[in-house]
Structure 1
Amino acid sequence: MTGRDETEAPPLSGEPSGALERHGSGEVSANRTGGAALDTTAAPDTASELETVSAENRVSVAGADEEEPPAGSGRRRRPLRTSLIALAAITVTAAAGVAATGTIGGDSGDSGGSAPAGPPATAKVERTTLTDTESVDGNLGYGDATTVQAPAAAAGTGDGQSAQSGQSGQSSQSGQEGASGGSAGDGIVTWVPEEGTVVERGETVYRVDQQRVPLLYGSFPLYRTLQSGSEGDDVEMLEKNLRALGYKGFTVDETYNSATAEAVKDWQDDLNREETGTVRAGDAVVAPDARRVADVKASPGAALSGDVLSWTGTERIVSVDLDVQFEDLVEKGTKATVQLPDDNTVEAEVTDIGTPSTGQSDDSAGGSGDAGSGESDDKATLPVELTVKDQKGLGRYQAAAVEVTLKAESRKDVLVVPVAALVAQRGGGYAVEVVTADGTEYRPVELGMFADSRVEVSGKGIKEGTVVGVPK
């Protein structure tokens, strides 16, 4: 076996010199030497500084810092989670090599023993796509439900000068009564939809005194009476809905004029309502798009007040309460695979990331935080929402616990070896034991991404098909 002086091994480019931490898939056992003794004098810079810190195969390197995020990225970089779990195996591999052949770059004197025939096992350098993943628990459903409320007892009047045009709000907070002649909030509920009903633009949300209260699309509720002379973006929202419902003869803009009033009269006629040409705050409910009724709270015959119903979006989504330590795994557009209870899978994509929650403890109430103080074990989580384009692929599941595999990072067309093939060098960095026609030799490598118990490598003399040694 040809020795290589430690000064010839270049330091690992981009490799942090400090603590690394690994959580997730691709774990490698830290005891793979078949009983070979760990020679800390032969490799003091690695073996003496690595220790196993948990039953989850987490490994730390003394005095380390996390990898710094790129300038202006706005997001912290995740610690090399996959690489840490590998370092224990790397150190043991180095020890096994030391026990058999002496340290890399050590004295070239004979040890007095016979040289080993070669590594106990081998693997080939492969060229492939390497993807870093993390599996987490999720829930399939229609997302959080929002409530449609009965309109306020008194609606705004006139041209709404007291209200600020352009205001925004939750579209579901306003379920407005539509009876002509009375104030908003008057009347008896005479019809409500069934749970699971999908309501689209122009369709009835509920009836009051047998008059329909339809759904309009928009980003904020009707909050004042609209009539000739009114101006604002609520006027434009109304006109966009009228146009989408097929009414013509007016210009879609922020001005409510006589042409708008005529279109409103036609709309009121189709709703079997009095043709006033004005629209009050209680005449329609506004939501961003079609809604699915989740729960009906009002009953026919009851006075219109309080919560009428709750509803959600019409497509099933996947919700995940992600441990904040994995926050850097997700951003809008992150791909994922969702495994259903029947083991079928569908592809999903992260479309919304909420605000992290904070773990609850008695410290906030003046508690000491000791084990006996009643401190909560709640962990901070990050709400994440994923959409599934293939709704048919979800089958008939309306609500179910699912497993979500997040695809954090992917590297295409890279050279990889098993993590166990890495050998730590005394002078820093790593090498692989390459099998040649004349025996074996250690060749330094630079490391890239870790995933699925494999690691991206590059270096002189490392190419696809190169045979490297691995422990049994």
Structure 2
Amino acid sequence: MRRRLLLAAGSLVVAAGLVLAAKGFGGVSPAPVASADGLPPATAKVVEADLVQTEHVSGTLSYGTPEALTAPAKPGTITWLPPSGSIVKIGQPVYKIDQDPLILLRGTIPPYRTMKVGMSGSDVKQLEQNLAAFGYTGFKVDNDFTAKTKKAVQQWQEDLGVEETGQVDASLIVVAPGDLHIGLPAIGVGDVVGETNLPILTVSGAKQKVTVALDVAKQHLVKNGVKATLTLPSGKAVAGTVTSVAKVATAPEGTDGQQTGSPTITVELELADPKAAGGLDAAPVDVALVSAERKDVLTVPITALVALAEGGYGVQVVSGTSVSYVKVQPGMFAGGKVEISGAGIEAGTLVGVPT
């Protein structure tokens, strides 16, 4: 038995080294040492588990590409700006001109006219949808601005502390798909805006996301809904989900117009717990994408796998005070474990682990 143990030990160094090199780690596993009674120094049970291999790529955590927010065609003085880095929610003022707040509404139709009684259109419906979301009632949400809509608008204006005209001036609302993250101001409080649209602020979406420029050779790893693990600069790992995969690849070009790198596609991911990012912007993130997965397979620690003298691989099966070598077929390696299958190998089987 001692001769066999030594043969197995000499082979184990080679097997473990190959496995570790394949996984990208360094070092050599120590040779197994048998105890005085012939039993291995440590044991582990065969466990049924899921194995996942990952591909690590670099990403950037941010609020997205900032866009300029311009002033409406209404002369006046900027009297208030939100702090850079703050979040403006739907229904809140984005900035103020002559102390009149420009209120953020949810939607996709930009303000282009003064809405009042008798008007119809999708912009009216968008306004009424926002009023209803703010809790105002007494009108029907449709395309028509009626006297009932006017009454709700006047109540809204009273609550805002502005003149209760019952009309909604295009110059006093800002429309966006959702809450806004405030970037750097283009002008300051006290500056005067005229009839030309001037940049006031840079804004982006309020939801942080991770953007990855993924090599096209790895695009098979991603599609909408795919889960990933995102490691933040703090070292904290959080769950993420792929929400967008670009259909067109781009390639970096030098000043001479020649391609200087591999083509990439833009991939966006959302954090399952947005609070975990803590307001970070333009921060590097490690993104672990699943490259292969095996579910409900029998696994043992990689160090339990030994190279047999007659060829192939096996494990030391421990039963009471006896030890026997059982040939196994290795499968996927992941997370320090290896998938195995073989005659008599089942969940709960006790195997030797060299230390």
> What TM-score results when the alignment is normalised by the length of structure 2?
0.70
Report the Cα offset of residue 293 of structure 1.
1.0
Q: 1:127 aligns with which of 48, 64, 72?
A: 48
Higher relative contact order (CA 8 A, sep 6+): 2
- Tell me, what secondary structure is at the counterpart of 1:147? strand
Change (3 A) 1:441 1:264: closer
Superposed counterparts of 1:365-444, under 5 Å: 375-389=259-273, 391=275, 393-395=276-278, 397-408=280-291, 410-416=293-299, 418=302, 432-433=313-314, 442=327
Distance 1:246 1:128 in 2: 50
Change (3 A) 1:242 1:139: same
Report the Cα offset of residue 397 of structure 1.
4.4
Report the Cα offset of residue 460 of structure 1.
4.5
Report the Cα offset of residue 256 of structure 1.
1.6
Match of 2:92 in 1: 203
Distance 2:266 2:303 in 1: 31
Distance 2:46 2:137 in 1: 68
Q: 1:188 aligns with which of 53, 67, 76?
A: 76
Q: 2:214 aligns with which of 322, 338, 341?
A: 322
Gaps of 5+ in 2: 1-12, 25-42
Distance 1:349 1:440 in 2: 44
Give the root-mean-square deviation of aligned CA atoms.
4.4
Change (3 A) 1:356 1:459: farther
Distance 1:210 1:127 in 2: 66
Q: Conserved in 2, the CA contact under 8 Å of 1:123 and 1:467?
A: yes
Moved more, 198-207 or 334-343: 334-343
Match of 1:140 in 2: 61
Distance 1:248 1:33 in 2: 73
Change (3 A) 1:358 1:326: same
Match of 1:358 in 2: 250
Match of 2:14 in 1: 32
1:301 equivalenced with 2:195 (yes/no)? no
Change (3 A) 1:234 1:463: same
Change (3 A) 1:212 1:341: closer
Distance 1:434 1:422 in 2: 6
Match of 1:237 in 2: 126
- Tell me, what secondary structure is at the counterpart of 1:282? helix
Change (3 A) 1:258 1:422: farther
Higher strand proportion (structure 1 or 2): 2
Amino acid at match of 1:331: K
Match of 2:32 in 1: none
Change (3 A) 1:295 1:357: farther
Distance 1:361 1:422 in 2: 50
Report the Cα offset of residue 408 of structure 1.
4.9
Match of 1:262 in 2: 151
> What TM-score results when the alignment is normalised by the length of structure 1?
0.55
Distance 1:198 1:234 in 2: 25
Deviations 1:282-334 (A, max 9, x none): 23101122222111113332324232211233344333333333323233333
Gaps of 5+ in 1: 1-30, 35-56, 59-81, 86-121, 151-176, 178-184, 366-373, 424-429
Identity across the alignment (%): 34
Q: Conserved in 2, the CA contact under 8 Å of 1:419 and 1:455?
A: no
Distance 1:33 1:332 in 2: 38
Amino acid at match of 2:167: T
1:346 equivalenced with 2:235 (yes/no)? no
Report the Cα offset of residue 385 of structure 1.
2.3
Distance 1:276 1:451 in 2: 67
Query: Would you say how many aligned residue pairs link Structure 1 and Structure 2?
Result: 319
